[in-house]
Amino acid sequence: MTSYPLPKKELLIISHLRNNARMSLTRLSRETKVPVSTLFDKIKQYHGSFIQKYTALINFQAFDFHARAHIIIKVNKNDRQKLKEFILHHKHINSAYRINNGYDYLIECVSEHIKELEDFIEELEQKFRIEALHVYHIIEDLKREAFLSNPAYLEYITPEHTEKPLPP
C-alpha cells in the first residue's frame, strides 16, 4: 500500500489550493472545516515542500502566442549538458523535462507563429548534435494541471481507497 505524506484532511487543503490558489483562507476554512489560523500555518509549512510555487495558468492565445508544441529530443551524449543550459534559458521554452526511453528532453515551446517554432528547431539542429527530434503541435488543451485539484477524487488516492466508480 502506498504511503501518503499527509493525512486526508491536509490533502483536502492541497486539493482546494490546486483548484484555486487565490481562494481566501476564510472560504478555504468553510470548505475544509479547518480553522483559518491552522490553514495559515499549514500553508506556510507546505511552501517549499509540498507546494513548490504559486503561479497562474495563462491563456497564451490571449497574448497572441498562437503556436505551441511539445518537442522530444535525443541529443548526442557530449551535448546533453549544453542543450540543458540552452533549454533552461531560452525565451520560448515554457516547460522542460528530462525523460527516458531513448530520449533526453521533452520541452514545451510557445511562440507567436509556427514559423518561430520552426526557426527554433533549426537553431537546435545547428547548435547541437541532435540524434532524434519529434514535434507535436498542441491544437487544444483538454486538461491542464488537474491532478489532485478535485476534492471529490481524494478518496480514490488515499490509503482508504476502495473499488468505487469515479464520480461523474
pLDDT tens readout for residues 117-138: 999 999 999 999 999 999 999 9
Task: Tell me the whole-structure pTM to 2 decimals.
Answer: 0.80
Distance CA 71, CA 105 (A): 8
Task: Starting at the earlier edge strand, list the strands of the sheet with 105-111.
Answer: 93-98, 105-111, 67-75, 130-137
Q: Copy the grid coordinates of residue 67.
A: 503556436
Locus of grid cell 488516492:
157
Round to the nearest angstrom and report the end-to-end CA distance of the chain. 26
Asked if residue 46 has pLDDT above 50, the reply is yes
Q: What are 73's strand-pairing partners?
A: 105, 133
Locus of grid cell 533552461:
88
